[in-house]
Amino acid sequence: MNALHPIHPADPALRHLTKQQIAELIVELRTEGREFGLLWPSAKPGETVLDGQLLVSIGNAPTSTLINLLALLREFRRHRG
């Protein structure tokens, strides 16, 4: 995960993530994003809907959006010191 190289929604690696792994990423995003108002209390792993890609239920955002947001938050925290 790198903020300078975002993951594309069709990245084949995303197809191997389980619902449990996505749920853990959501918890991490809630924790990391709280300071910035990124609060999605209803976020949960979605259904496999689009070309076999597992979606996150925050308005049907691709899992890549979740991962890329986490990367941006981590990059910001790293540079903020």
CA–CA distance, 56 with 65 (Å, rounded to integer): 9
- pLDDT (tens digit per residue) in 49-80: 566 666 666 666 788 888 998 999 989 888 88
Is the Cα torsion angle 45, 28, 13, 17 positive or negative in sign? negative
- pLDDT (tens digit per residue) in 26-53: 888 888 888 887 766 666 676 655 666 6
**Full-model pTM:** 0.69
Sorted by where each begins, the domain ranges of the chain are 12-80
